[in-house]
Amino acid sequence: ACEVCGKSDGDERLFVLCERCAEGGTHTFCAGMARPPTESEEWLCRECKDLRANDPLVKETALVTATFTSGRFVGEVVDVRWDFAEEGDDTPGPRGGSKIHSLFFTSDGTQSWHDLERRQCDEEVLREDGRRTAERRKSDPLLRGKGAKVSIYHGHCVRNVQAGWFRGRVLDVRVVVRGGEEWALHKVHFESGDTRWRNLGDCGPERSKWEELDRKASLPAPSKSAHAAGGSG
């Protein structure tokens, strides 16, 4: 039934199902749409929209470590959805589903869905230390002025982008503590428009090869609309 009017009658061609759950839906005219969305346009029901908008890990672009056969990597939480259980599964959640999160791995540009409670890839959410982050923001030399201009080396070809050096500007820093080890991650807005958290320190996983550029060098100001999947943090 339509989540707006509660009716299920009418031309089914004008009824849109949620891309995520395939259960929530609405009439195009009830939702104020002039036409049904195209294949490239995603439409989400109210429940799935609320889930994405209010999930704390998505809102903070939380960092998660995950183990694969090739090693342990750090991913950014960029999305969330309900993973609907098969018949007989008593996993809690709306319509019998459990919550899963999409992780974007900067190291190779891949993105995959993970159940952070079942930890099938030994996932661990890295928690930010708020006090140490506040202290670091006051003293971090890369945050002086409008932020340091840096050039960072990326050693993998990602989405048809060749490996090489990429220029950007440092926007923020967060301090993560894990197992007694502390390291800082910097949010960098790249000239390409992407915004990513990178490890520019000398400890912690996936340390980046980088160098600071002349502060007089010209770099575009960060665009408010620039947002690579999950990179707004």
Q: State the Cα–Cα distance between residues 84 and 218, nearest whole angstrom.
A: 49
Handedness of CA 143, 144, 146, 150 (dihedral sign): negative
> What pLDDT sits at residue 214?
72
pTM over 0.75: no
Identity at 72, one-letter amino acid code: R
Query: How large a percentage of the chain has pLDDT more than 90?
Result: 22
Kindly give, in sequence order, each residue whose CB lies less than 8 Å from that of residue 117, ignoring residues fewer than 6 positions away. Answer: 98, 99
Q: Is the confidence at residue 223, as pLDDT, over 50?
A: no
* pLDDT, tens digit, 9 for 90 and up, residues 127-184: 888 999 999 999 999 998 889 999 988 766 655 567 788 899 999 999 988 777 888 8
Banded model confidence at residue 91, pLDDT cuts 50, 70, 90: very low
DSSP the chain: -BTTT----S-GGGEEE-TTTSS-EEETTTTT-SS---TTS----HHHHHHHHH-HHHHTT-EEEEEETTEEEEEEEEEEEEEEPPTT----SGGGEEEEEEEEETTTTEEEEE-TTTTTT--EEEPB-HHHHHHHHHH-GGGSTT--EEEEEE-S-BTTBPSEEEEEEEEEEEEEEETTEEEEEEEEEETTS-EEEEB-SSSSSSBPEEEEPPTTS--PPPPTT---TTTT-
Greater pLDDT, 178 or 187: 187
* pLDDT, tens digit, 9 for 90 and up, residues 62-76: 889 898 888 888 888
Identity at 9, one-letter amino acid code: D
- Which of 46-50, 152-156, 184-188 shows the lowest per-residue confidence on average (mean pLDDT)? 152-156
132 class by beta-carbon count within 10 Å (0-12 exposed, 13-18 middle, 19+ buried): middle
Q: Is the confidence at residue 90, as pLDDT, over 80?
A: no
Q: Is the confidence at residue 93, as pLDDT, over 50?
A: no
